[in-house]
């Protein structure tokens, strides 16, 4: 019998020995141990009476630094800057606190401000765990239709070189469909344009997409909304982009243009990643066909959402990507807002920087967020009323016969 087997046997026999009711039963157990283990009787008695003490590890309780009192101010900051991930939230906490205190939107006590600024990304995730939406992400339909025209005249771009990623003005452009579950009929679409260097983002929604509407929206963004000149634009192979109208416009305004490869979405990774964050999270995936609703969404795009996205919502930029032994490791720059990147750029004139700073100083992010929620609530209410009216009309035979 091995030593381990002897230990296991003694554990069982000790329990029987302690439960014996008289001396005869104990004597029988001792005799059994003597026979099985081949030891003298006195040793068997000592082993059976032996008490095994299990030394328990002393768990040292760590002093709590970040208490539940920090959840409320942290949640306020997180909601004001667009509910980003902890890696995007942490670098901007200090500036956001300063901005909120300037407009009297936040009250901090004791050393709360110090703790909020120094907490790690893991602590942020832990404190906001109950607040985050973990519902399954939805996916929309793709309406890109290949255009055979001009493809040979428009060069292909698979990525941006180092110089282009360090200079504002090189953009990616895409259309996001609001068609619901069907691509048939007429519906609204959002033109989304993103600057690669700063992540400055502009968008416009319109009904019944045409080449002229796409070029008109792009012209408005280029001349009135982007604070710097557009140098180049990259788009997919859809017929709304690959056409003579957009080519002529770009040629006349000295804007270079390129397209991605067919069926390679990753060639436009920047704008494809922004489509969900900037549009789907706000507008959703429902079908939009009402002109009034389009105007309401455009009003939100051009005001509150535009200002929050470009001045207060931080974004991450890929610093480098390295492949070692088949494993790809990515490292990212510190998260910054598009406004901060433009202010740090030596390619932006002092006049533009002063204009951007003046606009930033007058903005209250908490008030913008409140106004954005009010407009989203109105949009949701209008959608509900419209759906209810349509359902009532379709269920009423008199109305149907009249129509």
Residue 135, pLDDT above cutoff 60: no
Helices (H), 155-275: 211-220, 244-252, 269-275
pLDDT at 391: 59
Range of the domain at 28: 3-49
- What SS3 state is found at 136? coil
100 and 229, same domain (yes or no):
no
Q: Provide the CATH number for the domain around residue 207.
A: 3.30.420.10
pLDDT in tens, 145-187: 555 556 778 888 877 776 777 899 999 999 999 998 888 889 9
75 and 186, same domain (yes or no):
no
pLDDT at 56: 63
73 and 40, same domain (yes or no):
no
pLDDT at 401: 43
18 and 92, same domain (yes or no):
no
The answer to whether residue 157 sits within a structural domain is no
The answer to whether residue 145 sits within a structural domain is no
Compare 5 and 57 and report the one with higher pLDDT: 5
89 and 177, same domain (yes or no):
no
Mean pLDDT of 292-318: 94
The answer to whether residue 147 sits within a structural domain is no
The answer to whether residue 364 sits within a structural domain is yes
13 and 72, same domain (yes or no):
no
Percent of the chain exceeding pLDDT 90 equals 52
pLDDT at 153: 80
189 and 278, same domain (yes or no):
yes
280 and 194, same domain (yes or no):
yes
Which string of DSSP letters, residue by residue, matches 19-82?
T--SHHHHHHHHHHHHHHHT--HHHHHHHHHPPPPPPPP--PPPPP-S-GGGHHHHHHHHHHTT
pLDDT at 88: 92
CB 178 within 8 A of CB 287: yes
Mean pLDDT of 121-134: 84
The answer to whether residue 74 sits within a structural domain is yes
40 and 78, same domain (yes or no):
no
33 and 77, same domain (yes or no):
no
Comparing 108-112, 179-183, 197-201, the range with the smallest average pLDDT is 179-183
pLDDT in tens, 379-389: 999 988 876 66
The answer to whether residue 397 sits within a structural domain is no
pLDDT at 402: 40
The answer to whether residue 58 sits within a structural domain is no
Residue 246 C-alpha from the chain's centroid = 32
The answer to whether residue 79 sits within a structural domain is yes
Comparing 35-39, 314-318, 327-331, 399-403, the range with the smallest average pLDDT is 399-403
pLDDT in tens, 8-61: 888 888 888 888 888 888 898 899 888 888 889 998 888 888 876 656 666 666
| Structural domain total, the chain | 3
Cα end-to-end span (Å), the chain:
95
Residue 395, pLDDT above cutoff 80: no
74 and 179, same domain (yes or no):
no
313 and 197, same domain (yes or no):
yes
Residue 305, pLDDT above cutoff 90: yes
pLDDT at 9: 85
């Amino acid at each position: 019998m091995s030593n381990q087997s002897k230990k296991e046997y003694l554990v069982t026999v000790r329990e029987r020995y302690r439960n014996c009711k008289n001396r005869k039963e104990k004597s029988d157990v001792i005799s059994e141990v003597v026979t099985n283990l081949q030891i003298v009787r006195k040793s068997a008695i000592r082993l059976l009476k032996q008490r095994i003490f299990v030394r328990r590890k002393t768990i040292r309780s760590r002093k709590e630094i970040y208490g539940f009192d920090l959840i409320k101010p942290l949640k306020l900051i997180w909601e004001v800057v667009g509910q980003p991930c902890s890696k995007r939230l942490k670098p901007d906490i200090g500036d956001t606190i300063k901005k909120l205190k300037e407009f009297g939107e936040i009250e901090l006590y004791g050393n709360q401000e110090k703790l909020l600024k120094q907490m790690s990304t893991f602590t942020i995730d832990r404190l906001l765990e109950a607040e985050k939406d973990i519902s399954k992400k939805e996916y929309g339909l793709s309406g890109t239709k290949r255009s055979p025209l001009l493809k040979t005249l428009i060069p292909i771009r698979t990525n941006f070189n180092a110089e282009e990623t360090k200079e504002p003005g090189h953009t990616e452009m895409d259309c996001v469909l609001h068609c619901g579950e069907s691509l048939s009929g007429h519906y609204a679409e959002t033109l989304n344009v993103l600057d690669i260097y700063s992540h400055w983002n502009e968008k416009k929604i319109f009904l019944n997409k045409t080449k002229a509407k796409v070029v008109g929206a792009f012209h408005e963004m280029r001349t009135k909304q982007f604070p710097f000149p557009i140098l180049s634009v990259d788009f997919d192979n859809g017929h709304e982009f690959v056409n003579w109208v957009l080519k002529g416009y770009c040629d006349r305004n000295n804007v270079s243009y390129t397209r991605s490869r067919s069926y390679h979405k990753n060639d436009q990774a920047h704008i494809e990643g922004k489509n969900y964050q900037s549009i789907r999270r706000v507008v959703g995936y429902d079908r939009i066909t009402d002109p009034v609703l389009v105007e309401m969404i455009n009003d939100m795009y051009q005001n509150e959402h535009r200002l929050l996205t470009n001045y207060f919502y931080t974004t991450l930029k890929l610093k480098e990507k390295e492949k070692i032994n088949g494993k790809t490791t990515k490292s990212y720059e510190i998260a910054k807002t598009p406004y901060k990147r433009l202010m740090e750029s030596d390619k932006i004139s002092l006049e533009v920087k002063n204009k951007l700073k003046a606009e930033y100083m007058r903005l209250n992010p908490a008030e913008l967020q409140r106004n954005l929620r009010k407009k989203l609530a109105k949009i949701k209410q209008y959608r509900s009323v419209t759906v209810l009216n349509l359902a009532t009309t379709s269920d009423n035979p008199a109305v149907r016969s009249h129509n």
